[in-house]
Amino acid sequence: MFHPRRTLRALLLPLTAGLALTALPAQTARAASTLANGGFESDGTGVAVPAGWSEYGTAAASYTESGGHGGSYRLTHYSSSAYKVETYQYLSGLTNGNYKLTAWVRSGGGQNSAYIALKNCGGTDQRTDLPVSPSGWLHIVVPVKVTTNQCTISINSDANAGNWINVDDLAFASGTSGTSIKGSDVSSLAKSEALGGTYKTSSGTTGDALAILKSAGQNYARVKVWVDAADGYNGRTQVLAMAKRIKAQGMKLLVDFHYSDTWADPGAQTKPAAWSGHSYSQLKTDVYQHTYDVLNALKAQGTTADMVQVGNEINGGMLWSEGSTDHWSQLAGLLNSGYSAVKAVSSSTQVALHLAKGGDLSGTRWWFDNAVANGVNFDVIGLSYYGYWHGSLSDFQTTLDDAASRYGKPVFVAETAYPFRLDSDDSYENIIDLSGELVPGYPATTAGQTRWMNDVASIVEAVPNGRGLGAFYWESTWTAVTGNGWDPTDSSSGNGWENQALFDYDNKAQPAMAWFGHR
């Protein structure tokens, strides 16, 4: 395990120790359109003010040291007592236009704030928080529009004693970044409402959950489809009704086909009862007809799906056993049957393949290498990434970036979530209910939930070549409502997820909805 303990900086000038400036020093304009010393290699170790950079605040808490991401050295912010420090560089002589700063970072977490910003560039200041990643380096991006031929790059820490960050290999060049999907899964909503579930704004006014999500910035909704569920929900009729509401809010629609009567996930891909006993050939027809029927009905009512998942978390395939990954050629045939049905209804609808392997590089490669080798058609790659199950943020970024590059496809987070508390709002034990299950640096608080979503979105935004589409929060509206439990065959089953909804135990909109406003 990486240990963040910092060595004493014997090379620091005594004069700089504990320096706290009361005013910003005069900025010396430098006719430079490129960043100087972005890799912090110019000075060696122990330098408080790296070449090309300036400091404001507790300068002794900012210094270069060995252990760089790319080269030999990095910038570190650290002190054994609380500190505030800004390491910044002023660029002038810039051609106006869109620019993007990229940086490699690590953080032990715990700060009041730790971020990289682009300021005083003429337009709106932009910043990206440093995700908590004590061992693995992450790359983050900050885009900005320069309108005054200048810009200030700021590396900022407002930290408590012992907090630290590492920053390295900054690059400033023309370009843009952002994400197009700020979504959530609302599959539980119709049943919740039918059983008396209500939803409120953050100020306590009861309203339509979709309208509340929309007003917070949600622009995409995801709904699952079961073939013939025991509770009568998440079928064709309910999906059609929900699609009208989603499109009326101006949101896009992702339809998630489970090809089952109940939950399909890595541990279960049970055929619908109506398809039991069918041959592989008949299953291909079943997939086509079911997919076409639902999507064509959506199109006919003016709510064409914008994206479709052919299968849900199909790590081991779907429609077991015929469509398991033990029979790749058959799985490929089933997936292509679904793809063909989607395109027959609407050629512009994007087809996603969805795995629950957010931090599993080798597993994701194995699966998609086999898919490609077997001629599977797809447009987009979706990954579930739950930090308490699927590896570190660094593992997640490596997997996401590799998938986008290796297969030349856009990528998105099909599911993620985080708890805002650990106790239950019903009698059913929550799936995540122990502090030891949490991701270090992300407490089970409203702030921790918000931080998690923003940091996941920042990692998706940083996927190279603009291939990071965005993320869907899983089951934003699944609050604790009697009868709306996880098991469609058992009305007394509890939820287990209400502590990860985007509405709190008073049914009010959570602060974490702010992540919908992520770039």
Choosing from 55, 65, 322, 415, the catalytic residue is 415
What is d(CA 179, CA 183) in angstroms, rounded to the nearest whole number? 11
Give the H or E element holding residue 97: strand 97-107
| Token pair 């008073």: residue | 506
What is d(CA 165, CA 106) in angstroms, rounded to the nearest whole number? 6
Give the H or E element holding residue 336: helix 328-345
Other CB atoms within a 10 A radius of the CB of residue 100 amount to 18
Choosing from 313, 322, 461, 498, the catalytic residue is 313
Burial 475-509 (b: 16+ CB within 10 A, else e): bbbbbbbeebbbebeeeeebbbbbbbbbbbbebbb
415 flagged as catalytic: yes
Which amino acid is residue 516, in one-letter code?
Answer: F
Give SS3 for 502: coil
Judge whether 245 and 303 are in contact, CB under 8 Å.
no
514: tokens are: 């702010």
What are the contacts of 241-250 at 24+ separation with CB within 8 A? 241/190, 242/186, 242/189, 242/190, 243/298, 243/301, 243/303, 243/305, 244/301, 244/303, 245/208, 245/210, 246/186, 246/210, 246/221, 246/303, 247/302, 247/303, 249/210, 249/211, 249/214, 249/221, 250/214, 250/219
Judge whether 35 and 49 are in contact, CB under 8 Å.
no
What is d(CA 343, CA 304) in angstroms, rounded to the nearest whole number? 12
Alpha helices, H only, 70-205: 189-194
Angle at 8 between CA 4 and CA 9, to 5 degrees: 115
Beta bridge partners of 310: 257
CA 7 to chain centre: 34
In this structure, what DSSP letter does residue 236 have?
H
Alpha helices, H only, 128-279: 189-194, 209-216, 236-248
65 flagged as catalytic: no
Which amino acid is residue 475, in one-letter code?
Answer: E
Cis amide linkage into residue 321, ω under 30° from 0 = yes
371: tokens are: 């898919």
Judge whether 54 and 20 are in contact, CB under 8 Å.
no
* DSSP collapsed to 3 states, 395-433: HHHHHHHHHHHHHCCCEEEEEECCCCCCCCCCCCCCCCC
- Active-site positions read 313, 415
